[in-house]
Amino acid sequence: MSTFLGDLTVTQLSDRAGGSWRLWRLAEDLSYDLGGGTVIIVPAGFITDGPSIPQIFWNILPVWGSWSRAGVVHDFLCCLLAMGRPHEAAPTRYDCDRMFADAIWALRVAFLPWATLYLGVCFGRWFRVRCTMVDYNVKLSAILEARVAKTAPAAVATAVASPVGGDTALPLILADNPHTFAALNKDPARVVPAAVEAAKAQAQK
Protein backbone atom coordinates (compact mmCIF):
# COMPACT_ATOMS: atom_id res chain seq x y z
CA MET A 1 0.00 0.00 0.00
CA SER A 2 1.57 3.29 -1.08
CA THR A 3 1.49 6.28 1.23
CA PHE A 4 2.85 9.80 1.60
CA LEU A 5 5.32 10.21 4.46
CA GLY A 6 4.77 13.88 5.21
CA ASP A 7 2.97 17.10 4.41
CA LEU A 8 3.35 19.31 1.36
CA THR A 9 5.16 22.56 2.17
CA VAL A 10 5.49 25.08 -0.67
CA THR A 11 6.43 28.72 -1.21
CA GLN A 12 4.71 30.79 -3.87
CA LEU A 13 6.99 32.39 -6.46
CA SER A 14 6.53 35.97 -7.57
CA ASP A 15 6.43 37.10 -11.19
CA ARG A 16 9.84 38.68 -10.70
CA ALA A 17 11.23 35.22 -9.90
CA GLY A 18 10.87 34.29 -13.56
CA GLY A 19 7.67 32.32 -13.19
CA SER A 20 4.08 33.27 -12.51
CA TRP A 21 1.75 33.28 -9.56
CA ARG A 22 0.87 29.67 -10.42
CA LEU A 23 4.40 28.44 -9.70
CA TRP A 24 5.43 27.13 -6.28
CA ARG A 25 8.73 25.90 -4.86
CA LEU A 26 8.95 22.99 -2.41
CA ALA A 27 10.28 24.22 0.92
CA GLU A 28 10.82 20.67 2.21
CA ASP A 29 11.25 17.23 0.67
CA LEU A 30 8.07 15.38 -0.24
CA SER A 31 8.35 11.60 0.15
CA TYR A 32 6.04 9.03 -1.43
CA ASP A 33 6.49 5.44 -0.24
CA LEU A 34 5.56 2.88 -2.88
CA GLY A 35 6.11 -0.02 -0.50
CA GLY A 36 8.71 -2.74 -0.79
CA GLY A 37 11.53 -0.34 0.07
CA THR A 38 10.96 2.05 -2.85
CA VAL A 39 10.49 5.71 -1.92
CA ILE A 40 10.17 8.63 -4.34
CA ILE A 41 11.66 11.80 -2.87
CA VAL A 42 10.77 15.10 -4.50
CA PRO A 43 13.59 17.37 -3.31
CA ALA A 44 13.18 20.75 -1.68
CA GLY A 45 13.70 23.40 -4.34
CA PHE A 46 11.64 21.62 -6.99
CA ILE A 47 9.27 24.01 -8.80
CA THR A 48 5.73 22.89 -9.58
CA ASP A 49 2.37 24.25 -10.62
CA GLY A 50 0.54 21.39 -8.94
CA PRO A 51 -1.97 19.31 -10.91
CA SER A 52 -2.42 20.89 -14.35
CA ILE A 53 -6.13 21.65 -14.20
CA PRO A 54 -7.61 24.11 -16.75
CA GLN A 55 -8.80 27.29 -15.05
CA ILE A 56 -12.37 26.78 -16.26
CA PHE A 57 -12.64 23.78 -13.88
CA TRP A 58 -11.10 25.38 -10.79
CA ASN A 59 -14.47 25.89 -9.09
CA ILE A 60 -15.01 22.13 -8.95
CA LEU A 61 -11.40 20.88 -9.12
CA PRO A 62 -9.06 23.41 -7.49
CA VAL A 63 -5.35 22.97 -8.15
CA TRP A 64 -4.54 22.73 -4.47
CA GLY A 65 -6.84 20.10 -3.04
CA SER A 66 -6.59 16.70 -1.43
CA TRP A 67 -4.82 15.47 -4.58
CA SER A 68 -2.08 18.14 -4.58
CA ARG A 69 0.74 15.91 -3.32
CA ALA A 70 0.03 13.43 -6.11
CA GLY A 71 0.25 16.26 -8.65
CA VAL A 72 3.66 17.34 -7.35
CA VAL A 73 5.00 13.78 -7.59
CA HIS A 74 3.64 13.52 -11.15
CA ASP A 75 5.32 16.81 -12.12
CA PHE A 76 8.60 15.54 -10.67
CA LEU A 77 8.47 12.19 -12.47
CA CYS A 78 7.53 13.80 -15.80
CA CYS A 79 10.29 16.36 -15.36
CA LEU A 80 12.86 13.63 -14.80
CA LEU A 81 11.57 11.83 -17.88
CA ALA A 82 11.89 14.98 -20.00
CA MET A 83 15.45 15.46 -18.71
CA GLY A 84 16.44 11.99 -19.85
CA ARG A 85 17.01 10.64 -16.34
CA PRO A 86 13.72 8.90 -15.47
CA HIS A 87 13.06 7.52 -12.04
CA GLU A 88 13.55 3.76 -11.82
CA ALA A 89 9.95 3.34 -10.68
CA ALA A 90 8.52 5.37 -13.59
CA PRO A 91 10.64 4.95 -16.74
CA THR A 92 7.82 5.91 -19.16
CA ARG A 93 5.09 8.54 -19.32
CA TYR A 94 2.51 5.80 -18.89
CA ASP A 95 4.22 4.77 -15.65
CA CYS A 96 4.20 8.39 -14.45
CA ASP A 97 0.48 8.67 -15.14
CA ARG A 98 -0.34 5.35 -13.49
CA MET A 99 1.62 6.38 -10.41
CA PHE A 100 -0.33 9.64 -10.35
CA ALA A 101 -3.57 7.64 -10.31
CA ASP A 102 -2.28 5.37 -7.55
CA ALA A 103 -1.10 8.35 -5.50
CA ILE A 104 -4.49 10.08 -5.76
CA TRP A 105 -6.19 6.88 -4.66
CA ALA A 106 -3.76 6.58 -1.73
CA LEU A 107 -4.91 10.05 -0.66
CA ARG A 108 -8.49 8.71 -0.51
CA VAL A 109 -9.84 11.03 -3.17
CA ALA A 110 -13.42 10.24 -4.24
CA PHE A 111 -13.90 8.27 -7.43
CA LEU A 112 -15.26 11.07 -9.66
CA PRO A 113 -12.39 13.56 -9.13
CA TRP A 114 -9.93 10.65 -9.19
CA ALA A 115 -11.20 9.50 -12.60
CA THR A 116 -11.34 13.07 -13.94
CA LEU A 117 -7.79 13.89 -12.89
CA TYR A 118 -6.41 10.63 -14.23
CA LEU A 119 -8.22 11.12 -17.54
CA GLY A 120 -6.67 14.60 -17.73
CA VAL A 121 -3.08 13.30 -17.54
CA CYS A 122 -3.98 10.55 -20.01
CA PHE A 123 -5.10 13.17 -22.51
CA GLY A 124 -1.74 14.88 -21.99
CA ARG A 125 0.03 11.64 -22.85
CA TRP A 126 -2.19 10.77 -25.80
CA PHE A 127 -1.73 14.20 -27.38
CA ARG A 128 1.96 14.36 -26.39
CA VAL A 129 1.65 17.55 -24.36
CA ARG A 130 5.10 18.76 -23.41
CA CYS A 131 6.14 18.84 -19.74
CA THR A 132 6.60 22.57 -19.12
CA MET A 133 7.98 22.12 -15.61
CA VAL A 134 11.33 21.11 -17.08
CA ASP A 135 11.75 24.77 -18.17
CA TYR A 136 11.46 25.95 -14.57
CA ASN A 137 13.65 23.23 -13.07
CA VAL A 138 16.90 23.74 -14.95
CA LYS A 139 18.74 23.35 -11.63
CA LEU A 140 17.12 20.02 -10.76
CA SER A 141 20.06 17.93 -11.97
CA ALA A 142 22.40 20.06 -9.86
CA ILE A 143 20.16 19.56 -6.82
CA LEU A 144 20.19 15.78 -7.27
CA GLU A 145 23.93 15.63 -7.89
CA ALA A 146 24.57 17.78 -4.81
CA ARG A 147 22.69 15.24 -2.74
CA VAL A 148 24.89 12.46 -4.05
CA ALA A 149 28.01 14.45 -3.19
CA LYS A 150 26.70 15.28 0.27
CA THR A 151 25.69 11.75 1.21
CA ALA A 152 28.62 9.92 -0.43
CA PRO A 153 30.97 10.19 2.62
CA ALA A 154 28.29 8.73 4.89
CA ALA A 155 27.64 5.95 2.39
CA VAL A 156 31.34 5.10 2.26
CA ALA A 157 31.54 5.00 6.06
CA THR A 158 28.57 2.66 6.16
CA ALA A 159 30.10 0.46 3.48
CA VAL A 160 33.40 0.21 5.33
CA ALA A 161 31.74 -0.58 8.67
CA SER A 162 29.28 -3.15 7.32
CA PRO A 163 29.55 -6.23 5.11
CA VAL A 164 28.40 -5.60 1.56
CA GLY A 165 24.91 -6.96 1.12
CA GLY A 166 24.29 -7.09 4.87
CA ASP A 167 21.40 -5.70 6.87
CA THR A 168 22.38 -2.11 6.08
CA ALA A 169 21.96 -2.52 2.32
CA LEU A 170 18.75 -0.48 2.01
CA PRO A 171 19.95 2.55 4.05
CA LEU A 172 23.14 2.53 2.00
CA ILE A 173 21.22 2.65 -1.26
CA LEU A 174 18.92 5.39 -0.01
CA ALA A 175 21.86 7.50 1.11
CA ASP A 176 23.90 6.90 -2.01
CA ASN A 177 21.48 7.92 -4.73
CA PRO A 178 18.73 10.58 -4.96
CA HIS A 179 16.59 7.94 -6.66
CA THR A 180 15.75 4.75 -4.79
CA PHE A 181 17.01 1.71 -6.71
CA ALA A 182 13.93 -0.34 -7.50
CA ALA A 183 16.33 -3.12 -8.54
CA LEU A 184 17.35 -3.57 -4.91
CA ASN A 185 14.21 -5.59 -4.36
CA LYS A 186 15.16 -7.94 -7.20
CA ASP A 187 18.91 -8.46 -6.80
CA PRO A 188 20.51 -6.79 -3.75
CA ALA A 189 23.68 -8.86 -4.08
CA ARG A 190 24.33 -7.17 -7.43
CA VAL A 191 23.05 -3.66 -6.69
CA VAL A 192 24.68 -3.03 -3.31
CA PRO A 193 28.31 -3.52 -4.40
CA ALA A 194 27.73 -1.21 -7.36
CA ALA A 195 26.34 1.46 -5.04
CA VAL A 196 29.33 1.13 -2.73
CA GLU A 197 31.75 1.61 -5.61
CA ALA A 198 29.79 4.61 -6.87
CA ALA A 199 29.86 6.19 -3.44
CA LYS A 200 33.60 5.64 -3.08
CA ALA A 201 34.28 7.09 -6.52
CA GLN A 202 32.19 10.16 -5.71
CA ALA A 203 33.96 10.66 -2.39
CA GLN A 204 37.38 10.58 -4.07
CA LYS A 205 36.54 13.39 -6.55
Domain identity same for 17 and 81: yes
Domain identity same for 181 and 106: no
Closest CA to 184 of 164, 204, 203, 154: 164
How many whole angstroms from its chain centre is CA 70? 10
- Is the predicted pLDDT of residue 164 greater than 50, yes or no? no
- Is the predicted pLDDT of residue 146 greater than 50, yes or no? yes
Domain identity same for 160 and 119: no
Considering its fold, how many domains does the chain have in total? 2
Domain housing 149:
140-204
Domain identity same for 33 and 76: yes
pLDDT tens by residue, 9-50: 998 886 554 545 678 899 999 999 998 878 898 988 899 988
Domain identity same for 87 and 8: yes
Of 113, 136, 159, the domain-final residue: 136
Of 117, 136, 155, the domain-final residue: 136
Yes or no: say if 121 and 100 are a contact pair by the CB < 8 Å rule: yes
Domain identity same for 123 and 23: yes
